[in-house]
């Protein structure tokens, strides 16, 4: 059981983590690999006070080193679901972690849901190959690859005996060459009561399961009752969300989507989580 | 009251007895199922004498899981007199389960 789990390893999450460590709290940061962080793709960050001229990747590396030195623990992976129970329980892939408080700092999720996705979630649509894959052995499934690790998850499904087709807008890296790949962008999940097919740019791919693998699960899907405003998580000046014990910081709370703002909010969220833990 | 672990035979026998039953379809490789396990245990205690609370391992009982259309786990089916009355899929707060159970019990 950690004092606090932080979802997201960007500037906001790491700033919150360092602040909590300064208050001697145990902290786990769950995030995608640093290379997938949008900051690491920024050519130059010139408005971060005192450290001009660094690339986004360099800045992120410094933040990470700082957090590591402060005793923050890290876990690479995607949070699939959470549950309030004696604090919070989180699924990272198929593993379970526990914490007394949560900080949401996973940036902005740009992906809108596909037609049919919400209606058939749990009836053939899944966000977690390692969770539900075994139920689809010997059955046709489609993996919708919208994250860097999606090819590995597709390979896993093929290994355990699913008949996998991989669909994504770009040629995937690391996909088992025996898995058929369909290049498509406009998708819809079809079926009455359970999944019957995925329509990919007009072509119908019959299947019983559709695994939709994005970089992150939308925070409103993770935390029941989480209020949003204009597509961003609603917070007050203490970075408290509408759910007790859950704080948010950084891009996920709204514009400007800037490093300085994220770092400042992270500090406030860390402080507020510390007070909550008292 | 402890949670019952059903196989095909004991499940059908329990369903045939009538009354209200809550069945958690799960597997040991499923993280969300492990997360939900303490909630299911609490429900077994709190609804002792009113609801039969049990689990079905989908690896051991694939036909039973298929018969109930289990396509994602945890998958919690509430039965009344042997017929499906309601269902909850995925990890959810305990209140969702108690609300559905109370509704089926006619509270």
Q: How far is CA A22 from CA A44, A66, A88, A267, in A?
A: 29, 12, 22, 11
For chain A, give every domain's residue range.
2-109+216-277, 125-214
State the pLDDT confidence band at B1, using cuts at 50, 70 and 90: low
Q: Is the pLDDT of residue A221 over 90?
A: no
Q: Is the pLDDT of residue A94 over 80?
A: no
Which residues in A238-262 are b (16+ Cβ under 10 Å) and which e? ebbbebebbbbbbbbbbeeeebebb
Cis peptide before A251 (omega within 30 of 0): no
- Closest CB to A131: pick one of B32, B69, B92: B32
pLDDT, tens digit (0-9, with 9 covering 90-100), for B36-73: 999 999 999 999 999 999 999 999 999 999 999 999 99
pLDDT at site A224: 84
pLDDT, tens digit (0-9, with 9 covering 90-100), for A250-260: 999 999 999 99
Q: How far is CA B57 from CA A30, A134, B48, in A?
A: 30, 12, 22
- Average predicted confidence (pLDDT) for chain B: 93
Q: How far apart are CA A175 and CA A152, in angstroms?
A: 7
pLDDT, tens digit (0-9, with 9 covering 90-100), for A36-79: 898 998 999 999 999 999 999 999 999 999 999 999 999 999 99
What is the radius of gyration, based on Cα positions, of chain B?
12
Fold that domain A2-109+216-277 belongs to in CATH: FAD/NAD(P)-binding domain (3.50.50)
What is the radius of gyration, based on Cα positions, of chain A?
19
- Average predicted confidence (pLDDT) for chain A: 94
Q: How far apart are CA A14 and CA A247, in angstroms?
A: 14
pLDDT at site A35: 87
> CB–CB of B35 and A95 under 8 A?
no
Q: Is the pLDDT of residue A12 over 90?
A: yes
Q: Is the pLDDT of residue A147 over 90?
A: no
* A140 strand-pairing partners: A163
Which entry of B3, B4, B27, B30 is annotated as an active-site residue? B30
| B4-105: CATH, from 3.20.20.80, 3.40.50.1820, 2.60.40.60, 3.40.30.10 | 3.40.30.10
B86: annotated active-site residue: no
Q: Show the beta-strand stretches assigned E in B3-106.
A: 4-6, 20-26, 51-57, 75-80, 83-89
pLDDT, tens digit (0-9, with 9 covering 90-100), for A68-85: 999 999 999 999 889 888
| Helices B31-46 & B94-105 angle (0-180, nearest 10) | 40
B96: annotated active-site residue: no
Residue A40 CB coordination number (10 Å): 17
ipTM of the complex model? 0.78
pLDDT at site B30: 87
Fold that domain A125-214 belongs to in CATH: FAD/NAD(P)-binding domain (3.50.50)
A89 touches chain B (CB under 8 A): yes
Q: Is the pLDDT of residue B29 over 90?
A: no
Q: Is the pLDDT of residue A1 over 70?
A: yes
């Amino acid at each position: 059981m950690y004092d606090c789990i932080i979802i997201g390893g960007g500037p906001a999450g790491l700033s919150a983590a360092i602040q909590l460590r300064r208050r001697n709290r145990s902290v786990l940061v769950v995030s995608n690999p640093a290379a997938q962080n949008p900051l690491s793709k920024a050519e130059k960050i010139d408005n971060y006070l005192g450290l001009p001229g660094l690339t986004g990747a360099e800045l992120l590396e410094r933040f990470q080193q700082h957090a590591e030195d402060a005793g923050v623990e890290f876990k690479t992976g995607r949070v699939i679901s959470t549950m309030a129970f004696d604090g919070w329980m989180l699924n990272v892939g198929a593993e379970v972690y526990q914490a007394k408080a949560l900080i949401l700092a996973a940036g902005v999720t740009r992906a809108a849901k596909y037609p049919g996705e919400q209606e058939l979630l749990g009836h053939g649509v899944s966000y977690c190959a390692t969770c539900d894959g075994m139920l689809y052995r010997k059955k046709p499934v489609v993996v919708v690859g919208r994250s860097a690790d999606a090819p590995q998850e597709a390979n896993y499904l093929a290994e355990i005996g699913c008949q996998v087709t991989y669909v994504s807008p770009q040629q995937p890296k690391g996909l088992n060459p025996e898995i058929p790949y369909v290049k498509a962008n406009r998708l819809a999940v079809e079926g009455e009561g359970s999944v019957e097919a995925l329509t990919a740019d007009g072509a119908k791919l019959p299947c019983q399961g559709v695994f939709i693998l994005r970089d992150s699960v939308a925070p409103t899907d993770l935390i029941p009752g989480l209020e949003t405003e204009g597509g961003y998580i609603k917070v007050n000046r203490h970075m408290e969300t509408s759910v007790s014990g859950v704080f948010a910081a950084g891009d996920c709370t709204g514009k400007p989507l800037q490093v300085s703002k994220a770092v400042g909010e992270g500090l406030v969220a860390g402080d507020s989580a510390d007070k909550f833990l008292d | 009251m402890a949670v019952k672990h059903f196989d095909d035979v004991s499940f059908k026998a329990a369903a045939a007895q009538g009354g209200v039953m809550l069945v958690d379809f799960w597997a040991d490789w499923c993280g969300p199922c492990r997360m939900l396990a303490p909630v299911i245990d609490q429900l077994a205690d709190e609804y002792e004498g009113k609801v039969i609370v049990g689990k079905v391992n989908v690896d051991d009982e694939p036909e039973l899981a298929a018969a109930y259309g289990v396509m994602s786990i945890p998958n919690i089916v509430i039965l009344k007199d042997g017929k499906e009355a309601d269902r909850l899929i995925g990890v959810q707060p305990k209140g969702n389960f108690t609300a559905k159970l109370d509704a089926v019990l006619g509270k």
